Amino acid sequence: MERVSVDITAAGVARVTLARPDKMNALDDAMFEAINATIARLQKESGLRAVVLHGDGRAFCAGLDKSSLSGLAGEGSSSINNLEPRTHGLANRWQHVAWGWRQVPVPVIAAVHGVAFGGGLQIALGADVRIVHPDTQLSVMEIRWGLVPDMAGCVLMLELMRADVVRDLVYTGRVVKGDEAVALGLATRVAADPLDEAMKLAAQIAASSPDAIRAAKRLLNAASPVDAQRVLQAEAMEQQKLVGSPNQREAVLAGMQGRAAMYR
């Protein structure tokens, strides 16, 4: 089934929909491939002015589907047991679904509702702006499965929030809702209808000088205080150590089993 749909308006606004609603848009291997293919397409799309990223159904993205961890003991370049090679510039294929939105040359606005957990939150963090519903639940969450955030989250969070706030969220995996997320810097603002607000913002951006908007994104990307190359590689190496341990793999898979009810 198609995992991601893209509709581009006459004004050059791409509406990108994560389209696995029966699983709360959880990230299986096909979803990783579809998101990365979408990013590649948008990087080359002529006339593109802005992107709105959202999830179909009752959630933005619930994070990793437990089926994605079937490669824990696998081999080869697509195995989750082989995280260190850089396959997409500074990133590996798992990091690129979040980091890649930074490489799209126009602003990306994430409209976030329901839940954005783990990898789903990191995808939202890759956007330039996050508009969330007041009841949206956001969590770094990886610590609950015996993992660390390794989809560019360490780079993206440290750009947005104080280091002690990032540590709190990473160490505890606690869930925050819309207003607190804004206060912490995890989200930009709240709205009763995040998708509608995101489309309005995208239309405003699309009406501005396209050359100036693209130049502004390049400048803001370049102004990041985080050494992305070093931290992205470090993410992969730390996660590699965790998933490389047989005992840890068993603990992760056992923990993921507890999430199954979420997708029913």
pLDDT, tens digit (0-9, with 9 covering 90-100), for 92-104: 999 999 999 999 9
SS3 50: strand
CATH of domain 4-194+208-263: 3.90.226.10
| Cα 193 to Cα 190: distance, rounded to the nearest angstrom | 9
SS3 256: helix
- Using the predicted structure, report yes or no on whether residue 261 has a pLDDT greater than 50: no
Q: What does pLDDT average to over the chain?
A: 90
Question: Which tokens is 199 given?
Answer: 């489309």
DSSP-assigned beta bridge partners for residue 131 = 111, 189
Q: Which of 11-25, 58-72, 141-155 has the highest mean pLDDT?
A: 11-25
Region for residue 133 given its phi and psi (left: phi exceeds 0; alpha: psi -120 to 50; beta: otherwise) = beta
| Cα 240 to Cα 185: distance, rounded to the nearest angstrom | 29
> In one letter, which amino acid is 219?
L
| Cα 254 to Cα 240: distance, rounded to the nearest angstrom | 18
SS3 170: helix
pLDDT band at 254 (very low <50, low <70, confident <90, very high): low
| Cα 180 to Cα 196: distance, rounded to the nearest angstrom | 21
In this predicted structure, which of 3-12, 17-26, 117-126, 249-258 has the lowest mean pLDDT? Answer: 249-258
Higher pLDDT, 155 or 70: 155
Higher pLDDT, 65 or 36: 36
Residue 214 CB partners (closer than 8 Å, separation 6+): 105, 106
pLDDT in tens, 177-227: 999 999 999 999 999 999 999 999 999 999 999 999 999 999 999 999 999
At 161, give phi and psi (nearest 5°). Answer: -135, 160
If you average pLDDT over residues 142-146, what whole number do you get?
88
Does the pTM of the predicted model rise above 0.95? no
